[in-house]
Amino acid sequence: MKIIHTDTLEGLKEAVAQFERPAVYRGQTNHYGAIGSPSATTSFDRNGCIPSEMAKWIRYSESTLRYYFGAERSTQEFCQAVLQHYGWHSFYLDASSSAAVSAWFASHSFDGKPNLMMSEDHNEDPVFLSSLQAGYKRAEGFGHLYVLDREKIEKHIGLIDLSSLSVEGTRLRFSVQSAFLVGPLRNQPLPKECYLGHIIAPCDALGALAKESNLSNTDDLFPSPSEDPVLHSLLALPWYELTDDEGNSSTIPVFRRSVELPEYQDGFVKHLSPSVGLYRGYSIAERGEIDGIKTANILMSVPDVALFGTAPRMPMLFPKVEELLDQNKAVSFEVDALVQHAEHENGYLYGKGISVSIEDGLYHLGELMIEHPGQEVAGAGVNAGWFYKKTESGHWLRVQHKDECPCGDTFTHTRHLSMLTIVEEWLRDPSGF
């Protein structure tokens, strides 16, 4: 690894030009580890992983990626890379194919603080919204620009190119930052042999290199939600009420985002639209009615993992569910959460679980949905799903039916089966959840 010290913009340009091998770059205001032996670790390594929160993030980013970029871009690896890039934790390290972008990060330090703003829901009732307001400010002293061996990382570690993602007429954060993600790295820093060079330069010189590429302020690298539809989708997720245990002592309800991520623009809205879901722990059982179910129904509360998790395997055997259906012709499984589907982000329709019924000897499996404008609940129902018959071996087998969902999206209905598989495991042994 070459270690280069320079004090000027021209010296910085010459240092970058020395590396002819295909490279990606990473900029930091602080160096960790010894000179010549850098230590770059992932946010999960530094802060730990909360599986329940990670499952939610994966679920939401998966929906967003499928909506904008197609099924091939909704793998778990891509989902984690997206989450990392928008401010959550992952097993990846941020990098860029642009030395100017990385020079900006090497010369600017992150600054984030809690923000509490008062707003009104669509009925003009007051609410507090708690978020993480963030920005970057010019750092003092020296910054660090690392030149990474792209070919070696691709071969031995893994490298995800986010810069290739685009939506016409928009400015995605991936694109403006020429973003790459290095990893996954688990419980270890990036190996020393992946570094080609370490350039140490004054923050003023690094900032000047970024400015030559028209990177002068935070908005140049972090487009607003009106410009970046992926960010817009993540910020369109429902809000959850803070309880007394979480520090809410106000008589006015306080809400936090489903998943907290740094927000670089002022998101103040005086009067919220009904599409902003403000969830206060509502249960469909309290309403006592579910549209779309033709027969007697029972409703059971299940852990959130049933909705946000993914079953590692699906044997298509559901004896515990069948026992419930022997006593009641329909059973619905509800979580204490709202699930925002990207295609519904401008409305107020949310997932709340799954529902299974038996009709003419066939099992119908659909998604339990709820209309939730603002803080209200306007209705609950079950979407059309797929139909299954029970074979002699006891396995469920999909069959075509005139009333089945016409969407043709195998992924969505496979996810319903995954949810039912998790519910079956929960019914068999609730202590494991």
What confidence tens digit (pLDDT) does each residue in 336-350 have? Answer: 998 888 888 889 999
Helices 76-85 and 51-69: crossing angle, nearest 10°? 100
Mean pLDDT computed over 278-290: 81
For residue 101 the two structure tokens come to 């972008």
403 or 42: which leads in pLDDT: 403
Is the pLDDT reported for residue 363 higher than 70?
Answer: yes
Mean pLDDT computed over 300-304: 91
Q: How confident is the model at residue 188 (pLDDT cuts 50, 70, 90)?
A: confident
Name the least confident of 64-78, 111-125, 158-172, 381-395: 64-78
Mean pLDDT computed over 190-208: 97
What pLDDT does 247 receive?
A: 58
**In a 10 Å sphere around its CB, with 0-12 CB exposed, 13-18 middle and 19+ buried, how is residue 113 labelled?**
exposed
Q: Give the three-class secondary structure for 403.
A: coil
**CB neighbours of 347 closer than 8 A, spacing ≥ 6?**
275
Share of residues in the chain with pLDDT > 90 (%): 66
**In a 10 Å sphere around its CB, with 0-12 CB exposed, 13-18 middle and 19+ buried, how is residue 333 labelled?**
buried
20 or 74: which leads in pLDDT: 20
Q: How confident is the model at residue 296 (pLDDT cuts 50, 70, 90)?
A: low
Q: Give the three-class secondary structure for 396.
A: strand
Q: Where are the domains of the chain?
A: 2-235, 281-432
Q: Is the dihedral of CA 55, 59, 61, 65 positive or negative?
A: positive
Q: How confident is the model at residue 387 (pLDDT cuts 50, 70, 90)?
A: very high
Long-range contacts for 65-74 (Cβ within 8 Å, ≥24 apart)? Answer: 66/342, 66/411, 67/233, 67/342, 67/343, 68/165, 68/167, 68/229, 68/230, 68/233, 68/342, 69/165, 71/411, 73/165, 74/411
What pLDDT does 225 receive?
A: 94
Is the pLDDT reported for residue 366 higher than 60?
Answer: yes
Tens of pLDDT along 274-283? Answer: 999 999 998 8
What pLDDT does 358 receive?
A: 93
Bridge-based pairing of strands 2-5 and 195-202 is parallel
Q: How confident is the model at residue 76 (pLDDT cuts 50, 70, 90)?
A: confident
Q: How confident is the model at residue 298 (pLDDT cuts 50, 70, 90)?
A: confident
Q: What is the mean pLDDT of the chain?
A: 90
Q: How many residues comprise the chain?
A: 433
Name the least confident of 66-75, 147-156, 234-243: 66-75
Tens of pLDDT along 9-56? Answer: 999 999 999 998 899 999 999 999 999 999 998 766 566 556 666 777
Mean pLDDT computed over 406-421: 92
Strands, E assignment, 121-210: 126-138, 142-149, 159-161, 179-182, 195-202
Contact, 284 vs 301, CB < 8 A?
Answer: no
pTM of the model: 0.88
What pLDDT does 273 receive?
A: 95
What pLDDT does 169 receive?
A: 93
Distance of CA 333 to the CA centre of its chain: 24
Q: How confident is the model at residue 291 (pLDDT cuts 50, 70, 90)?
A: confident
Mean pLDDT computed over 100-114: 96
Is the pLDDT reported for residue 295 higher than 60?
Answer: no
Is the pLDDT reported for residue 372 higher than 90?
Answer: yes
Closest CA relative to residue 402, chosen from 381, 382, 417, 386:
386
- Please name every residue paired with 27 in a beta bridge, in sequence order, or none if there are none: 145
Q: Which value, to the nearest 10 degrees, does the dihedral of the CA atoms of residues 213, 218, 219, 222 take?
A: 90
Is the pLDDT reported for residue 234 higher than 90?
Answer: no
Contact, 206 vs 12, CB < 8 A?
Answer: yes
What pLDDT does 47 receive?
A: 60
Mean pLDDT computed over 375-389: 93
Is the pLDDT reported for residue 73 higher than 60?
Answer: yes
CA angle 260, 261, 262 (to 5 degrees): 130
For residue 246 the two structure tokens come to 């979480």
What pLDDT does 44 receive?
A: 60
Mean pLDDT computed over 204-231: 96
Which helix (H) or strand (E) segment holds residue 24: the answer is strand 23-28
Max distance between CA atoms of the chain, in angstroms, equals 79
Written as one letter, the residue type at 377 is: V
**C-alpha distance from residue 250 to each of 58, 120, 255 (Å):** 32, 15, 11
Residues 153-186, buried b or exposed e (16+ Cβ, 10 A)? Answer: bbeebbbbebbebeeeebbbbbbbbbbbbbbbbe
Tell me the H-state helices in 318-408. Answer: 319-327
Mean pLDDT computed over 224-251: 84
Written as one letter, the residue type at 122 is: H
What pLDDT does 164 receive?
A: 82
Is the pLDDT reported for residue 204 higher than 90?
Answer: yes
Strands, E assignment, 345-390: 349-359, 362-371, 379-382, 386-390
Tell me the H-state helices in 122-228. Answer: 150-156, 173-176, 203-211, 218-221
What pLDDT does 238 receive?
A: 92
Mean pLDDT computed over 293-322: 87
Q: Give the three-class secondary structure for 227.
A: coil
Mean pLDDT computed over 325-333: 91
**CB neighbours of 354 closer than 8 A, spacing ≥ 6?**
306, 332, 333, 365, 366, 367, 368, 416, 419, 420, 423
Phi, psi of 25 (to 5 degrees): -125, 155
Share of residues in the chain with pLDDT > 70 (%): 94
Mean pLDDT computed over 378-401: 95
